[in-house]
């Protein structure tokens, strides 16, 4: 099979999927590439990184934060390279690349946060929107698939005209709202009604990705301009599913998660039944990804 090179280029953000070695994408004068992947040992990442990770550890609780952080105003920001299976997602203008390592879970990377430098402050909302949708396009080309949170109804963006509330479906808050289905683009009026926070969810080969955008309106031209902060949070399957638990329960997530999934399933079924009764189509083709460690 031929290797595929796909790039989504936008004013301040770039997402690129390449099955080839990311180093081949690096030209002589290009920014440094920070290669960091889920499941690999943090020490290997630190050893090969062209930029130093700054550690911040609390030995008493067995946790270390490792971070590369640069001012968004820096002339040269690194490229974050995240590999999942045969795909590599390259993210330009990374102002922060960080991971948290807990001794009790070993030295493998279970989470990655990437904060990107976006467009200049108080750019047009339409330009921010275009930039984010092109980032989403790059994410999807890198093999990431739309994920519905387990308790949310499977209502796709195709049904958005039947949903008039930007954060709820039939009076119930949903994280996977139809207006923010990554496979559909909303108009700027809906975009502004969503509020200050935008959330998109994806999965890929047992890993999960939460793309977030935070919006601050311009004081002078709030309906036209704003400032946006973009972050991407990658999680392994274990990290994603132990998140609801606290303390020692995190170590028992495999034992505890079936009850959580049962509650979520019931919530989804009840809301989907109401949606069908209201003439809203359910995306029956969508099936929840298996939890590989549980085969659920």
The tens digit of pLDDT for each residue in 252-284 reads 999 999 999 999 999 999 999 999 999 999 999
* pLDDT for residue 24 is more than 70: no
Rounded distance between C-alpha atoms, residue 145 and residue 81, angstroms: 18
**151 within a domain of the structure (yes/no):** yes
**208 within a domain of the structure (yes/no):** yes
The tens digit of pLDDT for each residue in 84-138 reads 888 899 999 999 999 999 999 999 999 999 999 999 999 999 999 999 999 999 9
pLDDT number for residue 21: 53
* pLDDT for residue 46 is more than 50: yes
**285 within a domain of the structure (yes/no):** no
Q: Check: CB of residue 292 under 8 Å from CB of residue 184.
A: no
**290 within a domain of the structure (yes/no):** no
Q: How many structural domains does the chain have? A: 1
* pLDDT for residue 11 is more than 90: no
The enclosing H or E element of 234 equals strand 225-235
Structural domain range at position 55? 5-277
pTM of the predicted protein model: 0.90
Sign of CA dihedral 289, 208, 193, 189: negative
Instruction: Assign 198 to helix, strand or coil.
Output: strand
Q: Check: CB of residue 141 under 8 Å from CB of residue 134.
A: no
**197 within a domain of the structure (yes/no):** yes
The enclosing H or E element of 94 equals strand 94-102
Residue environment code for 34-73, b if the CB has 16+ CB neighbours within 10 A, otherwise e: bbbbbeeebeebeeebeeebeeeeeeeeeebebebebebe
């Amino acid at each position: 099979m031929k290797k595929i090179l796909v790039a989504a280029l936008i004013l301040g953000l770039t997402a690129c999927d390449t099955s080839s070695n990311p180093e081949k994408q690096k030209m002589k004068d290009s920014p440094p590439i920070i290669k960091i992947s889920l499941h690999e040992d943090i020490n290997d990442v630190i050893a090969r990184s062209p930029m130093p990770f700054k550690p911040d550890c609390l030995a008493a609780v067995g946790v270390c934060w490792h971070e590369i952080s640069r001012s968004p105003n820096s002339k040269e920001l690194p490229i974050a390279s995240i590999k999942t299976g045969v795909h590599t997602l390259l993210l330009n203008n990374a102002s922060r690349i960080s991971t948290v390592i807990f001794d009790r879970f070993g030295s493998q990377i279970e989470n990655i946060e990437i904060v990107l430098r976006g467009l200049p402050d108080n750019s047009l909302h339409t330009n921010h929107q275009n930039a984010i949708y092109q980032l989403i396009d790059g994410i999807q080309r890198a093999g990431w698939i739309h994920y519905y949170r387990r308790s949310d109804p499977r209502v796709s963006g195709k049904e958005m005209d039947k949903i008039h509330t930007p954060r709820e479906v039939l009076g119930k808050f949903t994280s996977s709202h139809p207006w923010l289905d990554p496979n559909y683009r909303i108009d700027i009026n809906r975009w502004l009604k969503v509020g200050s926070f935008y959330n998109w969810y994806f999965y890929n080969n047992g890993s999960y990705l939460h793309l977030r955008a935070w919006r601050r309106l311009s004081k002078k031209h709030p309906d036209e301009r704003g400032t946006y902060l973009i972050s991407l949070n990658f999680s392994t399957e274990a990290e994603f599913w132990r998140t609801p638990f606290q303390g020692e329960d995190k170590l028992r997530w495999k034992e505890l998660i079936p009850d959580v999934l049962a509650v979520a399933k019931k919530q989804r079924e009840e809301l989907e039944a109401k949606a069908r009764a209201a003439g809203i189509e359910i995306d029956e083709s969508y099936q929840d990804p298996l939890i590989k460690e549980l085969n659920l």
